[in-house]
Amino acid sequence: MMMLVNCSSCRTPLQLPSGARSIRCAICRAVTHIADPRSLPPPSSTWPATPPPPPAATFGPSHYAPTPPSAHGRKKAVICGISYRYSRHELKGCINDAKCMKYLLINRFHFPESSIIMLTEEETDPFKRPTKHNIRMAIYWLVQGCQPGDSLVFHYSGHGSQQRNYNGDEVDGYDETLLPLDFETQGMIVDDEINETLVRPLPRGARLHALIDACHSGTVLDLPYLCRMGRTGQYVWEDHRPRSGVWKGTNGGEAISISGCDDNQTSADTSALSRITSTGAMTFCFIQAIERGAGTTYGNLLNAMRTTIRNTDVGSGGGPVSSLLTMLLTGDSGGGGLTQEPQLTSNEMFDVYSKPFYL
């Protein structure tokens, strides 16, 4: 019989095998020792109202994995960059995306570096590689102990896909998915799971921003409302609540996703925009919009990102990029417009031109 215990350091729930007296946490590597159950008082019939806060983040010797930052920190982020190196699925810009996003969060939005978990193939710690298990555990850490006033960021740069939905909860009949490093053996992470673990626990007063640079990512958080914006900047909110009535919103908090493209579109991995190195088009355009001061409202931010992708005069050096991106995205060099349009989804509808953007 399995017993559920909390890690003594980061409070992650761990399944203790029957008869075991200690267990090592897969997240922070701390060892939790279990007392002899005969010496413990009888278990209470109710959970405590408030779990004890975990200890503050500390860093030990270099041969030990760092203890994750406090789950009650004001700003926390999980950043995933997956290049699928040495495979036929290889991407060039995703690790660059992760590094750039970390720099932006620290230097522009004042996220403590100790409150950011990076998952990339460059990480030497096996628990910081972007496998399905590690991404799941990082998401759990991100929302664990979330309190009013907290600001959470989940950034993902990698492959995205779709699979047939059979319960009728998707408007287009497909679930959106993220592809971890080991997806070929462990499977994909489906939007239903992302919604359940990342969105629904958010308490009132907390906010989450998901920045998803992947194909088919428009509704990958399964949020109830999608902002359908035209090229002139006019918009309407589409209702994506499932017909089954299952609630896909939060527990009172705020969840907003900015993704690289619509569910039926692909997202570019290219050097055409930065002119220096490969990046995801969505991540580059998001950072550029922020740096150029366009991140005042959600509407201005989304318009600036879309303009950068389709503009014929982007970047510090200028020059045409639309035809190149069209070939990358559609395989068509004859024009006809880009198929990648960044999308905005939310747990609630709002005026995108009056609501300030901030992390």
Verify whether residue 209 is a known catalytic residue.
Answer: no
Structure-token pair, residue 79: 């950043």
- Over residues 162-193, the pLDDT tens digits come to 777 766 666 666 788 999 999 999 999 998 89
CB 5 within 8 A of CB 16: yes
Set 155, 159, 216, 240: catalytic member: 159
Confidence (pLDDT) at 167: 67
Structure-token pair, residue 37: 């159950």
Strands of the chain (E only): list them.
Answer: 3-6, 13-16, 22-24, 31-33, 75-81, 116-120, 151-157, 160-164, 174-178, 189-190, 207-213, 225-229, 235-239, 254-259, 269-270, 279-280, 343-346
Confidence (pLDDT) at 204: 95
Verify whether residue 110 is a known catalytic residue.
Answer: no
Strands of 83-159 (E only): list them.
Answer: 116-120, 151-157
- Over residues 102-137, the pLDDT tens digits come to 999 999 999 999 999 999 999 889 999 999 999 999
> Which among 143, 123, 321, 286 is positioned nearest to 213, based on CA atoms?
286
Distance CA 298, CA 256 (A): 10
Q: What is the mean pLDDT of residues 213-237?
A: 88
**What distance lies between CA 75 and its chain's CA centroid?**
14
Distance CA 302, CA 93 (A): 21
**What distance lies between CA 93 and its chain's CA centroid?**
17
Range of 147-156, 222-231, 265-274 with top mean pLDDT: 147-156
> Which among 261, 229, 223, 253 is positioned nearest to 342, based on CA atoms?
261
* Residues sharing a CB contact under 8 Å with residue 272, sequence separation 6 or more, in sequence order: 321, 324, 325, 328
Confidence (pLDDT) at 21: 74
Torsion sign over Cα 166, 172, 178, 183: positive
Distance CA 358, CA 111 (A): 12
Q: What is the mean pLDDT of residues 38-55?
A: 36
Residue, of 292 and 328, whose pLDDT is higher: 292
Set 28, 215, 227, 285: catalytic member: 215
Structure-token pair, residue 301: 């931010």
Place of tokens 């592809």: 179
